[in-house]
Structures are given as structure tokens and as C-alpha cells.
Amino acid sequence: MRRFVVRVVGNAIALWLETLVFAAFGARAALHVSPYGPDTVALVLTYLLLGLLFGVVNGVLGTAIRIVAFPLYLLTLGLISLLVNGLLFLLVAWISDLLGFGLVVGGFWWGVLGALVLAVLSWLIGLLLRPLGGREEA
């Protein structure tokens, strides 16, 4: 359970850093997060909920897609994963929009770029937070 919480927090931090990166390059309209409330607590909870939503969508739907599309992954030498991750990123944005808060993405290619940046940032943050997750016991 602790590992799951660390991953959700890692995803939330990575998403926060990603929005800062997009804003720094002048692409805030292409990708940003709209919190459900005006205060800082609402913003932090929005990032945590988005981190949870990313984990669930990627864990359930992303795994199913990777299993079913395995021959396509082999055929394209894994490049199709960029498109799949972009679509999953857009799916999270759509679900969060239905909930009334969350991720706003400007289009498909911004979603692909956002998924790529999020993957790199999540990997880096995962390396830093790995000691907090502890070992999985069998």
C-alpha cells in the first residue's frame, strides 16, 4: 500500500513539474491543470487525484492495450507506445473534465508531447522516491 501511495504522489509531482515546464516554454494554453477550488489545498488535492487517475488508467487500460497490441509494438519497434500513451493522457484529461476539474490538453499532439514529458519526469521522480516505497514482501 505504501508503494502505491508513493507512486501516486510521484505522479502528482511529475504532473506539477510538467505544467511548470509547459508554462515556462509559453505553452500554458496547451497543457495546464484547472483545480476544483481557488485555494492551495484544492490545487494539491487536484494534483493528487490526477496522479491517482493516471495510475488507475495506465495500470488497467494501458496494460490491457499493451497486451492486445503486442504485435503492433513489435512491428513498429515500440514507437506506437508514443501514440498509445498520448491517447491515455487525453483519456485522463477527458475523465477529469467530466469530473469538473483537472487536466486540460490542447490537442492530440500536445497530449503525445505531454505523455512523453510526464513519462520522463515520472521516471526521474520514481528514482528519487524509490527508497520511500520500501520492498514488496512476498
Mean pLDDT of 48-63: 92
When divided into structural domains, the chain yields a total of: 1
* Cα separation, 57 vs 88, whole angstroms: 7
The answer to the question of residue 124 being in a domain is yes
This prediction's pTM = 0.85
Q: Which of 102, 124, 88 is nearest to 49 (CA)?
A: 102
pLDDT tens, position by position, 7-23: 889 999 999 999 999 99
pLDDT tens, position by position, 75-126: 999 899 999 999 999 999 999 999 888 888 988 999 999 999 999 999 999 8
The answer to the question of residue 138 being in a domain is no
Q: Which three cell numbers stand for residue 53?
A: 487517475
The answer to the question of residue 34 being in a domain is yes
Write down the pLDDT at residue 113: 93
CA 102 to chain centre: 12
The string over 86-123, giving b where at least 16 C-beta atoms fall within 10 Å of a residue's C-beta and e elsewhere, is bbbbbbbbeebeeeebbbbbbeeebbbbbbbbbbebbe
* Domain limits for position 40: 2-133
